[in-house]
Amino acid sequence: MGSDVVDMKLSEMNKETLEQFLADCKAQYLDFQAENLKLDMSRGKPSPKQLDLSLDMIDCLKRDDYKAANGLDCRNYGVLDGLPEAKEFFSNMLGVDPSNVMVFGNSSLNIMYWAMSVAMTNGVLGGEPWSKLPKVKFLCPVPGYDRHFAVSEYFGMEMVNIPMNEDGPDMDMIEKLVAEDDSIKGVWCVPMYSNPGGVVYSDEVIKRFAALKPKAKDFRIFWDNAYCVHHLVDNPPVQANLMEEAKKVGNEDICYMFASTSKITFPGNGIAVMAASDKNLACLKKSLGFATIGYDKINQLRHLRFFDDNFENLIKHMKKHKDLIAPKFAIVENTLESELKELGIANWSNPQGGYFISFNQAGCAKRIVSLCKEAGVVLTGAGASFPYGKDPLDENIRLSPTFPTEEELQKAMNVFVCSAKIAAAEKLMG
């Protein structure tokens, strides 16, 4: 797959060698275009084989199996915040007491949007509605999850970039900002295998989040633990629990925690859960009671029966997912390593879990994405991992390995590394 040019750093090549390198890469690129590829790596979706792992859930309920453990008829109205046994089951996912859990529909993003909407219209724990304030700011660790940022943008918030370190967001910066500015109302976090960088927040970072002393009393940490069971390694990292740490310092009201089964069972028919303090939940339930009489309790039963009411069975199920997607992550990482490392033009993450690999090549992201598209490979848009879609260094690209087949993925990565080489050579040549 490599150029005919001997492996060396691109920046060390003389003009003649660089021109030959670019010519070789463009010749390869024309070959890729001739294949008329149609490959999509734009979103982190489970593959059909992953969805097949949960097929038994479709008919795991018998005709007469529609009652909860307390005798409730799940076919009917009622139970605003989830079946007691569903709360018990999913409390294990977030590491909290079942009494602090609410069970919703299939989308955790929908819960986050709703919680922020309630803050905008009705305030937080009796505070002033955010929509009535002259300015609302939200902290955004970058690179981060584009849909998080889209929610804040939709509500007209000013988003503030927070650099992401190897152990989590820059806490010195966060602590300083929230202590000084009461217009800062929250922060987005994906603490385990962050989207897209795969960063695992350290215990120290989590404890500093738990102990934050924001000037705004209605400041909330939106703790999206989307990938807390999505491991790619046999001995995954163990992480401190934000809610526990916050309780230790009398700060339990500071966070909302979220998770879902969207990439565990069926994304379109999963279950999303939220955990928060007693005060936060009581306040939020008042609003929820005007919006719904209850979520899909039959689907809650379906999930409980599929996993036999045993959270350990969910963990075993996730190992089946790992067996399917770990080889795909290896394809991406091995291709990047073999084709780009010696050239010294880029860096990338090697995550222990989650759904993404974060790729960085300064000043080249838009060009790479464009080249890939013209060769039939669709990627997430350059800049998507930053608020307003604006990557200040035009360097970050989120790679999503899970959906294509292994053969398709290898083809897509061949196009990607070729595009990365062309973009780097063009930039060097001015």
In DSSP notation, 335-346 reads HHHHHHGGGT--
Torsion from C-alpha of 234, 239, 243, 245, nearest 10 degrees: 150
Q: Is the Cα torsion angle 353, 350, 165, 379 positive or negative in sign?
A: negative
Tokens describing residue 337: 């390593």
Q: What is the mean pLDDT of each run of 10 residues along the chain (430 residues)?
A: 64 96 98 96 95 97 96 95 98 97 96 98 96 98 98 98 98 98 98 98 98 98 98 97 98 98 95 98 94 94 98 98 98 98 97 98 98 98 97 98 98 98 96
Question: What architecture (CATH level 2) is domain 67-309?
Answer: 3-Layer(aba) Sandwich (3.40)
Distances from the Cα of 150 to the Cα of 111, 136, 138, 158, 384, angstroms: 14, 15, 12, 11, 10
> Amino acid identity, residue 379?
L
Which ranges constitute the DSSP H helices of 135-170? Answer: 146-154
Close Cβ partners of 59 (under 8 Å, ≥ 6 residues apart): none
10-50+315-429, CATH topology level: Aspartate Aminotransferase, domain 1 (3.90.1150)
Residue 73 per-residue DSSP state: B
φ/ψ (deg, to 5) at 2: -70, 165
> What is the pLDDT at residue 423?
98
> What is the pLDDT at residue 77?
94
In terms of pTM, does the model score above 0.85? yes
> What is the pLDDT at residue 214?
98
Residue 46 per-residue DSSP state: P
**Please, which residues bridge with residue 257 across strands?**
223, 275
Among 206, 190, 203, CA closest to 251 = 206
- From-to residues of CATH 3.90.1150.10 in the chain: 10-50+315-429
Among 104, 118, 117, CA closest to 152 = 117
Residue 113, Cα to own-chain centre: how many angstroms? 15
Distances from the Cα of 396 to the Cα of 42, 361, 418, angstroms: 14, 7, 17
- From-to residues of CATH 3.40.640.10 in the chain: 67-309
Region label for 198, one of left (φ > 0), alpha (ψ between -120 and 50) or beta (otherwise) = left
> What is the pLDDT at residue 6?
52
> What is the pLDDT at residue 7?
67
CA distance 13 to 17: 6
> What is the pLDDT at residue 376?
98
